[in-house]
Structure 1
Amino acid sequence: MMLVYRLSYQEPMPPFDALQPRKVMAIGDFDGVHLGHREVIRRAVADAESLRAPAAVMTFDPHPREVLGIAKYAYSLTPLERKLELLEQLGVDIAYVVSFDEQLMRVTPEQFIERVLLPLGLDTAIVGFDFTFGHRGLGTPDSLAQLSKGAFAVEVIRPFEIEGSKVSSTAIREALERGDVAEAHKLLGRPYAVRGTVVHGDARGRTIGFPTANIEPEGLYVLPANGVYAIRAELDGERYDGVMNVGVKPTFASGGVPVPTLEAHLFEFNRDIYGAVLEVQLISRLRSERKFGSVQELVEQIRRDAEEAKAHLLSF
């Protein structure tokens, strides 16, 4: 079981106990835990195994760019708890979650090494080629090696590319903004997924013959562009195919500021699952969200969406 420690720069850590094994640690935000991140983490796990040392990851919460004032980074590809699950699946022994606040944002690269890294007893720090740290991001992989003064080794992982393009969290976010969940899947190495609790909605889907599960995400996820998607959902270890609408249900809009919702219709499923946790994988985008002239027109379109989704999922 992976150990998780939450650290704060405001609470100095005790000096490293020399009797404890030194660690190999990957450092980064790792939002999405995409294919590029996995290369960094896998190297840490492999090096740790060869040294018979613990494999560790240091990540940050909230996202540093959110603290820098970029509001959209309040939304994550992998909220913290999901990120930790993925790290454990990759073989990480210890996760350090560092609270990223204005004080940490202002520390110098030298202070970050002295006050945050050295007390953890590193044998090796492994970072991506574009890793930065310290005030204004002045610290780089090269300066990490220089400023550590031999206290630990530094390995830098080259960019991970697919078809000549660098895999990045930014590219995944941009793909989701377009509704291109297939591209997001390619960059993540797995389907993009949202996990949440099934809550009560307006029950309109049941009245038109298509009962839906209204999903309240368990964290601030980056949501794909409004539209209808073919999905694969997991509930209590079982998988179900279906369709999901992401958006504001314009056919039934009644004024006010629309709030995006997630409504999933699972095929051949008719259980009461209020309060259950559902994870939804977005497999392909079927169409954009639009307003219909009548409820009957909407029902006919949902039938077509369901048939198209089944065809997409058959080959997935």
Structure 2
Amino acid sequence: MHTVQLTFPLPEACVADSRVLAIGEFDGVHLGHREVIRRAVERGAELRLPAAIMTFHPHPRQVLGIDKYTQLLTPLAAKKEQLEALGVHTTYIVDFNETLMRVSPEQFVEQMLIPLRVNTVFVGFDFTFGFKGAGTSDTLCNLAGGRFAVEVVRPFELRGEKVSSTQIRNLLLSGDVQEAGLLLGRPYKLQGRVVHGDGRGRTIGFPTANIEVSEDYVIPANGVYAVVATVRGRKVGGVMNVGVKPTFDTGLLQPVLEAHLFDFSDMVYGETIEVELLGFIRHERKFGSVQELISQIRQDADQARFIIAERRSMQNL
């Protein structure tokens, strides 16, 4: 997959060949996004044209100062990885800045889409563009003026409910990683670097990899989760705590991520690790003693092993 950085406005006819284009922020690249992208890729194959994606960085709502969007389901690197897996030929990453934020829908079409020589544009049903979201899919159809086709993809529903990034975000913030994974079409993933912690896990018989996330991911609710980590190319099951370790009165304000990996003893400080969250086990709480905590961790680990085994058996069906 080719990745191309774009800045408004584009020079006239900035590409040589026509293309099919899907436009959207695509945070999460969830089932609804995948439907838009799938349609674009299929149309590209039908027309023997490359299928491209236009997305925006930073996230427009980050630029607009909407607090809940300071963290993302798929920061840019994770998003590109997902798009490539879907068969996208080119991803255009448009610099979303103060200038672009103020362009009119007409300017966006004339100075962003026309220079890309788009043949067909695919957008979601709730697509908006231009200053203050003044343009809609209907506006896009009118402004196309027969120069390119516009395909509006209906909302993607699962069990009668529309799939959305907001819904997935809310599920994660409540700890429901399993339902979030269903809407994403894959387990929710976090990636980060293994850093030194306080070493307390090792002293109580449960050494942990302390993970410092690499980008501004949405961090799920404080609690204990069944996880599968990818480290040094190997998939390893484990149990991960997200929280502030109240039993030890650490005084932490921001949650830390500590993963105890089963049957894994390699020293991986400084290395990158990716964690898939498969299931919620319990909320974080303060225990009356260290022994009580140790007993609970044993139970958490057993439950995590069960969840992981169940997931693996389902994948083999």
- TM-score when scaled to structure 2? 0.96
> Is 1:102 aligned with 2:98?
yes
Answer yes or no: is 1:16 the counterpart of 2:13. yes
Q: Which residue of the other structure, out of 254, 263, 274, is the alignment partner of 2:258?
A: 263
Structure 1 match to 2:305: 310
Q: Stretches of 4+ moved more than 4 A in 1?
A: none
Q: Secondary structure at the match of 1:16?
A: coil
Deviation string 1:274-306 (CA, Å, 9 cap, x unpaired) is 111111111110000011111111111101100
Is the CA contact (8 Å cut-off) linking 1:62 and 1:74 kept in structure 2?
no
Structure 1 residue 296 corresponds to structure 2 residue 291: yes
Query: Which residue of the partner structure matches residue 62 of structure 2?
Result: 66
Distance 1:286 1:27 in 2: 37
In structure 1, C-alpha distance between the alignment counterparts of 2:143 and 2:232, rounded to whole Å: 49
What CA distance in whole angstroms lies between the structure 1 residues aligned with 2:299 and 2:282?
Answer: 11
Question: What whole-Å deviation, never above 9, does each CA across 1:6-61 have from its counterpart, x for those lacking one?
Answer: 1122xx3221157x220100000000000000000011111111111111000011
Q: How much does 1:188 deviate?
A: 0.3
Structure 2 Cα separation of the partners of residues 13 and 258 of structure 1 = 45
Would you say the 8 A contact 2:11–2:111 is kept in 1?
A: no
2:206 & 2:65 partners in 1: Cα distance? 41
Give the one of 157, 174, 177 matched to 1:161. 157
Q: Equivalents in 2 of 1:58, 1:116: separation in Å?
A: 10
Question: How far apart are residue 146 of structure 1 and its match?
Answer: 0.4
CA distance in 2: counterparts of 1:22 and 1:217, whole angstroms: 39
Counterpart AA for 2:287: F
- How far, CA to CA, are the matches of 2:14 and 2:291 in structure 1? 70
2-side partners of 1:253 and 1:33: how far apart?
A: 38
The alignment's TM-score, normalised by the length of structure 1, stands at 0.96
Check if 1:281 corresponds to 2:280: no
Q: Which amino acid aligns with 2:210?
A: N
Q: Which residue of 2 aligns with 1:176?
A: 172
C-alpha offsets along residues 126-185 of structure 1, whole Å, 9 cap, x if unaligned?
000000000111111111010121221100101000111000000000101110011101
- The equivalent of 1:208 in structure 2 is 204
The amino acid across from 1:5 in the alignment is V
Using a 3 Å threshold, how does the CA distance of structure 1 residues 17 and 226 change in structure 2: closer, same or farther? closer
Q: Indicate how the Cα distance of structure 1 residues 185 and 17 shifts in structure 2: closer, same or farther if over 3 A, else same.
A: closer
| C-alpha separation in 1, matches of 2:296 and 2:94 | 48
Aligned length: 311
How has the CA–CA distance of structure 1 residues 266 and 145 changed in structure 2, closer, same or farther, with 3 Å as cutoff? same
SS in 2 for 1:195: strand
RMSD: 1.1
Alignment of 1:178-257 (within 5 A): 178-255=174-251
Aligned mates of 1:17, 1:37 — CA distance in 2: 27
- State the distance in 2 between where 1:16 and 1:52 align: 20
User: SS of the counterpart of 1:315?
Assistant: helix
The 1-side partners of 2:187 and 2:250 are apart by 34
Distance 2:220 2:61 in 1: 20
| Long gaps (5+) in structure 2 | 312-317
User: C-alpha separation between the residues in 2 aligned to 1:31 and 1:303?
Assistant: 36
1:220-273 deviation line (CA, Å, top 9, x unaligned)? 000110000011111122111110000111112233x52211100001111101
CA distance in 2, matches of 1:6, 1:62: 12
| Number of the residue aligned with 1:3 | 2
Provide the residue aligned with 2:315 in structure 1: none
**Which aligned pairs between 1:31-180 and structure 2 lie closer than 5 A?**
31-180=27-176
Call closer, same or farther: CA 1:83–1:308 in 2, change over 3 Å.
same
